[in-house]
């Protein structure tokens, strides 16, 4: 297996390990993730009108996503504890879904891709939690990293597939 394909979270004996990043220099790093919550026209109308019975869904989801970005090491056992120096979570209403985008920034030794994905995922879960009484069929789809910058591997971006 070449170095690019080497599994960094597995030692020579095949045991899980946390990668040692202590020799790396802190650099500014960002990651952006996107996801969607597919939901009914009734829910989207209630979101636009602010009439969801549980309250301001988008505000709750935004705060939930930001809080989640700061808790990644509690959720993912091999993730490093890093400083989350900035986090934005934006939610936009479309015809058949709520679009969620999170961007996380740090000046640390490792990237924030997992923090951005976690922010989007938990924001999506918060949306579902708050609309499930109106639309039990709401679901999360198309969640993934769309951009990152900084670190050894530099800048990268893509669009999520349909």
* Residues annotated as catalytic (active site), given as ranges: 129
Segments in 84-152 forming alpha helices (H): 113-131
Helical (H) or strand (E) element with 62: helix 57-69
Q: Which residues pair with 101 in a beta bridge?
A: 34, 90
| Alpha-carbon span 9 to 42, nearest angstrom | 45
User: Roughly how many angstroms between the first and final C-alpha of the chain, as a whole number?
Assistant: 31
β-sheet bridge partners, residue 147: 32, 157
């Amino acid at each position: 297996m070449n170095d690019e394909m080497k599994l960094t979270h597995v030692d020579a004996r095949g045991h899980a390990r946390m990668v040692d990043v202590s020799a790396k220099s802190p650099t500014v790093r960002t990651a952006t993730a996107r996801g969607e919550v597919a939901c009914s026209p009734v829910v989207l109308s209630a979101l636009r009108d602010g009439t969801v019975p549980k309250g301001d869904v988008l505000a709750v989801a935004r705060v939930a996503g930001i809080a989640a970005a700061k808790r990644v090491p509690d959720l993912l056992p091999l993730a490093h504890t890093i400083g989350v120096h900035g986090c934005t979570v934006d939610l936009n209403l479309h015809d058949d879904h709520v679009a969620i985008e999170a961007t996380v920034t740090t000046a640390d030794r490792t990237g924030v891709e997992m923090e951005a994905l976690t922010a989007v995922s938990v924001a999506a879960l918060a949306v579902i939690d708050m609309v499930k009484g109106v639309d039990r069929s709401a679901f999360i789809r198309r969640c993934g990293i769309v951009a990152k910058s900084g670190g050894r591997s530099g800048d990268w971006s893509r669009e999520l597939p349909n």
